Structure 1
């Protein structure tokens, strides 16, 4: 069975992931969030495309509200794109696959 392109993180694991080099997409989500559920399958498909160099992670805002506060998450899903630990871009909402790919490829 293939490994999933998107993995769940705790708030402490999030800080460890952001310390790694490269592009990292962090999506703040919650189980009750219908747009978040819509985004998940799109996210998997886009991150599994050949040549996609971004790693994807999910943070449950209900389990880790401190992380959501730290990153000023006010709506869900919130997508934060980090490059080498620096926040480069953010989007809110269940964007479509084309918008998602454009968002990820815009990272320096």
Structure 2
């Protein structure tokens, strides 16, 4: 479970703490949101991103629930998150990112 899919032209990411395991805090953004390393339960490992429960407290418009799983709409311009708001090791990543891929050059 988890990952990224498009809904009405926006990126919606399953970012609920309940769909993640092996979670460890990497840093805290200036807006107070934690940036975490984690694996999706039964899915991809080596991810870095935010927790929907925290995003919901800071940017309520960015959080939505599909079924009973919280998601983040990371591309809605009015939510304050933006598609590339986290800088991890020289790589800009959005709400949740697969860190196994090759780093983006700047």
TM over 0.5: no
Structure showing greater relative contact order (alpha-carbon pairs closer than 8 Å, 6 or more residues apart):
1
Higher helix proportion, which one? 1
- So what's the TM-score if we normalise by structure 2? 0.28
- So what's the TM-score if we normalise by structure 1? 0.27
Higher strand proportion, which one? 2
